[in-house]
Structure formats: C-alpha cells, structure tokens
Amino acid sequence: MLKAFVLSCSVAVLGTVGTASAQDWTKSKWGPNDEIGAANYMTPELVLKAASLVKTGKTYALGFPVDSKMPAYPPRGFKITVVQPGQAGSPGLGPSKTTYNDDIIEGWVGVGSQLDGLGHIGVEHVYYNGNKLLEFADPTGLKKLGVEKIPPMVTRGVLLDMAAHYGTDVVKEGTAFNVKEIEEAAKKQGVEIRQGDVVLFHTGWASLIGNDDKRFNSGEPGLGVEGAKYLTSKGVVAIGADTWALEVIPFESKNVFEVHQILLPMNGTYILEVINTAELAKDKAYEFLFVLGQPRFKGGVQSMINPVAIR
C-alpha cells in the first residue's frame, strides 16, 4: 500500500535487503528476464505434496466481500452499479422474453482482499529485477511485471495465529512480528515454514472492519523488517495477513513501507492483504492447501482476490 512519496524512501534501505543481500538486489537469481519472482519456487512436485494435505475437504474463502463501505488506504474507493442495458420499456429479448442484469465497477483495484504484484513497490523508481519506472510503467498498464504474469498459486499454506500467541482477540497496532515472534508462534503450533509456502498471519485486526474503520486504517500489527528478511530467506512465495498493509504500522524506523520493499522489489515475494483468516484460526487450521488464481488484469499492478484454503 502506498502513495507516490513511498518511492522516495531513504536509499539506506539498499543496505538492508533480505535474501538479496549477497548480490545486487536489482538482479534476480532467476535471470535477467524473470518477471514472477518467488513464484518460481512452485513446482509440480510441490503442488502434489501440498495436495496431500487435503484430508477433510473443508474449504475456506479467504477473501472478504467488497462494497463501497470497505475501508481502504486513501484515496482508494469502490462502488458497483447494476444496469439492464437496452431493456427499458421492453418485455425482454426474443419470444422467451429473456432479461438480464449487468454490473459496472468503478474503483481502485487495491480495495479489500488483494494481491500486490511485483510492479507495485520500488526503491527510487527501480522495481523487481532492476526494472526502471520509465521503462516499464505506462498509464495504460505495466509493460512488465503485470499481475497476468503470475502463475496460479497452488502450494502449502501456513497460518500463524498471532492473536493466540499474544493471548488476545486483536493484536495491538505497532506490534512487530520478527524472528523471535515468528519462530515462537510456529513452534507453539507445531508447524515448520518451508520453501514454496504461503505464510498468513492472523491478528484479529480484520474484526475492526465495519466496527471501527478509523482504527483499522490508522495502524496495525504486522511483519517487521527482520521478520521479512527471515521469511524471504526461507524461500516463501507470498506472505499475507488480515491487515491492510501486512507490515507493522507505526513503522519500526523512519523508512516508509520498508517491509514492502524487502518483499516485492528486493526478493520477488508477493504480498496478500486483508485476508480473512478468522475461520482458519478458529479451527486451528495451521497447515492447508492454498489455491489462488487471481484475475489476470493485463498490465495490472494489483488484483482483487478470493484465495481458497482446503483442508
């Protein structure tokens, strides 16, 4: 999540990268033409292994319903208009009198449950794999790193219930999840984070939606800088949470959305935001098959999503 000023973050961030620290972070380990980043970790073998986690057939919708009241990072908004094109005063189409409704969406893609693509965040106008803003970003769509390039995410999902870890319903804003917190929560739940995983944090923060939208948007618990480096070193595909920006806010330092920078441009690790983790946490479903086939908006920066967890 960002405004234009995010791109002018301190250059000092360049010295604090995650797994890319051993090399120039602008050069992907998957080659100069790579556009999918950590999605490269997903293999047919990994998919088969993840599918073996399905034991009960129970499914969980991880996306929230979206309407005009969904709180979002300013100035983002959303509305839907239902129309009956060309049907005014008509009994319907043909002898069968067929009638129909269509819908028009006006709004920002980054509202509600969403996927941040690799063209979303940069460092001084440089994005994943060294792509420079003026060379690939266009008002009509990204020429590289568009969300249509992301392959289906079918892999092992891991839930870390941070609300249970802290013994609360809603983890307090400004609470950072770093190496200690992540390892303690995983150990308590008896799960191991592995290469190719999608890791989700449950904080209870989404319970504020519709109840205290002002608080929901003003801060949040979330992933810290060291936690981001730790998870990228594990080789995870994506990291998500039931919060609007994944990372801890207020930030741990003066750097703005530094966790986003570590994940997206520096390591090609995807971000999932406003994910509905409540039912997974309620069922103590800490390991599951994660499935996501996002809308393939060509040249899109982000995508509205409804991932599915299957146990």
Instruction: Locate 121 and state its tokens.
Output: 């965040």
46: helix, strand or coil:
helix
Query: ∠ CA 161-258-245 to the nearest 5 degrees?
Result: 45
Task: Identify the burial level of 203 via C-beta atoms within 10 angstroms of its C-beta, where 0-12 means exposed, 13-18 middle and 19 or more buried.
Answer: buried
The residue extents of the domains of the chain are: 4-310
Architecture, CATH, for domain 4-310: 3-Layer(bba) Sandwich (3.50)
Backbone angles phi, psi at 9, to 5 degrees: -60, 160
Question: Could you tell me the maximum CA-CA distance found in the chain, to the nearest angstrom?
Answer: 70
Residue whose C-alpha is closest to residue 198's, from 272, 103, 98? 272
Q: Say if residues 229 and 269 touch (Cβ distance below 8 Å).
A: no
> Is this structure's pTM higher than 0.85?
yes
Judged against a pLDDT cut of 50, whether residue 6 lies above it is answered with no
Q: Are the C-beta atoms of residues 198 and 157 closer than 8 Å to each other?
A: yes
Contacts of 17 (CB under 8 A, 6+ apart): 25, 229, 262, 266, 267
Q: pLDDT value at position 227?
A: 98
What is the number of other CB atoms lying within 10 angstroms of the CB of residue 72? 21
Summarised one tens digit per residue, pLDDT across range 70-94 is 999 999 999 999 999 999 889 999 9
Can you say how many angstroms the Cα of residue 233 is from the centroid of all Cα atoms in its chain? Answer: 18
> What is the pLDDT confidence band of residue 4, given thresholds at 50, 70 and 90?
very low
Q: What is the pLDDT of residue 1?
A: 42
Contacts of residue 211, defined as CB under 8 A and 6 or more positions apart, other chains included, come to none
**Interval 240-252: pLDDT, tens:** 999 999 999 999 9
Phi, psi of 131 (to 5 degrees): -70, 125
How many C-beta atoms surround the C-beta of residue 170 within 10 A? 17
* Confidence band for 23, pLDDT divided at 50, 70 and 90: low
Residue 201's DSSP bridge partners are 160, 241
What is the predicted pLDDT for the residue at 89?
87
Token duo for residue 279: 């039912």
Provide the percentage of residues in the chain whose pLDDT is more than 90: 91
Instruction: Tell me what the mean pLDDT of segment 174-182 comes to.
Output: 98
Q: Whole-angstrom Cα distance, residue 174 to residue 78?
A: 28
* pLDDT surpasses 80 at 9: no
Cα 296 to Cα 136, 168, 193, 302: the distances in Å are 18, 38, 28, 10
Name the band, by pLDDT with cuts 50, 70 and 90, for residue 107. very high
